[in-house]
Amino acid sequence: MSSTPQMASSLAVLVFLVCTVVLASGAASVRVGLTRIHYSDPDITASQFVRDALRRDMHRQQSRFGAGTTTTVSSRTRKDLPNGGEYLMTLAIGTPPLPYQAIADTGSDLIWTQCAPCGAQCFQQPAPLYNPASSTTFAVLPCNSSLSMCAGVLAGAPPPPGCACMFNQTYGTGWTAGVQGSETFTFGAGPADQARVPGVAFGCSNASSSDWSGSAGLVGLGRGSLSLVSQLGAGSFSYCLTPFQDTNATSTLLLGPSAALNGSTTGVRSTPFVAGPDRAPMSTYYYLNLTGISLGATALPISPDAFALKADGTGGLIIDSGTTITSLVNAAYQQVRAAVQSVVNLPATDGSDSTGLDLCFALPTPTSAPPAMPSMTLHFDGADMVLPAGSYMISGSGLWCLAMRNHTDGAMSTLGNYQQQNLHILYDVRKETLSFAPATCSDL
């Protein structure tokens, strides 16, 4: 993401650290609900929705270069107000716990929410602002904590008296600023599956950009030390993203021992993570080895090294729960584009102006059903991910569009959440593998 004051769907991070006057948490397994964000404005068309989601994705893409838990933590997740392509997770913060919804993002690490007092530079959110003064468990995170963003600035020196770590975290299309704190987070919908986790390091934001898609903040699920996954010491986590067009369905994010694929023994495929660069922000991402793509039974003529991660940190492919539309290196995208166009017997049109997607087809009428399409298969190292047409094509306003885009050579490719819908996906951090299986996510 670039450092412009706008927000993206999933978030790569550039961080600028400021220290004034110059935690590790024991954890349970977590169960979290996921909500897919939907536009609350009935006049917003599907084309506008895709265009806006794609705008956030592109800003995000442009900026990307610049102790184990023993019980399960869970949170309900779903799409909500349709002004974005993100999925929200529900949790509560503080004592007494104040519930809020935050974007679930495997492409970043920091956990943050808006905090009172919040002035003119705060955005409107559905839930009341968290007020640290009203919580008995809030504490300012010490500047020399291993989880403080200012620890590197101190370089091992003792912090000055009264030191508080002020942060300004910049994402591709947004930013947030405030002070780092430590707090108790509560996960789970009811007493039976509720888990309270003390000492979670998070960002208490007093100023933010305004485009955060109806959420109250963000929960980073990346590989860095500040992410929820790392702070819980969760060896694995899983989610199942409900269908994109379903505004009511919910699913669950699980962190910890129960983050399994429902004990399924059929249809599960696994592929290893690729070791990424050890410098931020690339060290945050979950890289995969995509070796090829097929449409139906036809393998597309894509070079085997098209998605290779280079020694300088360029290239490669990541899986990201916060990016909406999958992006492919241009050489691969053009092959996918040509293959899709060859099997659709409808007038092709460039939908860039209306949707941001350059390959669209005009349906006979706005209410016409799209034509039958073969499945698309993403060939990963040791595992094939089969995408039905509804997971790589999107319809709206009389257009039927390829829900993928290209990018310039050198940038990383990204597997977005539109292509992840109705897949149960398990990130096994300890075994360094990603596993997935087809699922009806709204039933889980």
Q: In this predicted model, which residue has the larger pLDDT, 169 or 59?
A: 169
pLDDT at 269: 96
Place of tokens 């002035």: 119
Rounded to 5°, angle at Cα 402 from 401 and 407: 130
CATH class of the domain defined by 14-255: mainly beta
Specify whether domain 269-443 bears CATH 2.40.70.10.
Answer: yes
Q: Which of 219-223, 280-284, 425-429 has the lowest mean pLDDT?
A: 280-284
Q: What CA–CA distance (Å, rounded) separates 155 from 153?
A: 5
Q: Model confidence over 124-140: pLDDT tens digits?
A: 888 899 999 999 999 99
- Averaged confidence pLDDT in the chain: 82
- Under the banding of pLDDT at 50, 70 and 90, the label for residue 181 is very high
pLDDT at 31: 67
Q: Which of 6-15, 235-244, 323-332, 363-372 has the lowest mean pLDDT?
A: 6-15
**In contact, 404 and 437? CB cutoff 8 Å:** no
Q: Model confidence over 213-260: pLDDT tens digits?
A: 678 899 999 999 999 999 999 999 999 998 887 777 888 889 998 898
Q: Model confidence over 43-80: pLDDT tens digits?
A: 445 555 555 555 555 444 444 433 455 556 766 675 54
pLDDT at 346: 95
CB neighbourhood size of 212 (10 A): 26
Indicate the residue type of 120.
A
Q: What CA–CA distance (Å, rounded) separates 351 from 49?
A: 13
Q: Which residues are catalytic?
A: 105, 320
Whether the predicted pLDDT of 164 surpasses 70: yes
Ramachandran class of 214: left when φ > 0, alpha when ψ lies in -120 to 50, beta otherwise: left
Whether the predicted pLDDT of 25 surpasses 60: no
Token pair recorded at residue 386: 């089969």
Whether the predicted pLDDT of 311 surpasses 80: yes
Whether the predicted pLDDT of 17 surpasses 70: no
Length of the chain: 444
Token pair recorded at residue 312: 């300088």
Place of tokens 């650290």: 17
Q: Mean pLDDT across the stretch 27-52?
A: 56
Token pair recorded at residue 402: 């390829």
Of 116-120, 275-279, 416-420, the range with the highest mean pLDDT is 416-420
Indicate the residue type of 377.
T
Residue 383's alpha-carbon distances to 327, 389, 415, in angstroms, are: 20, 19, 15
- Under the banding of pLDDT at 50, 70 and 90, the label for residue 152 is confident
**Structural domain boundaries in the chain:** 14-255, 269-443
Same fold, 14-255 and 269-443: yes
Q: What is the dihedral of CA 231, 179, 152, 62, to 10 degrees?
A: 80
Q: Model confidence over 85-103: pLDDT tens digits?
A: 778 888 999 999 999 888 8
pLDDT at 173: 63
Q: Mean pLDDT across the stretch 431-444?
A: 92
Q: Which of 51-65, 139-153, 195-209, 276-290 has the lowest mean pLDDT?
A: 51-65
Q: Mean pLDDT across the stretch 353-361?
A: 90
Token pair recorded at residue 75: 């949170």
Q: What CA–CA distance (Å, rounded) separates 32 from 253?
A: 5
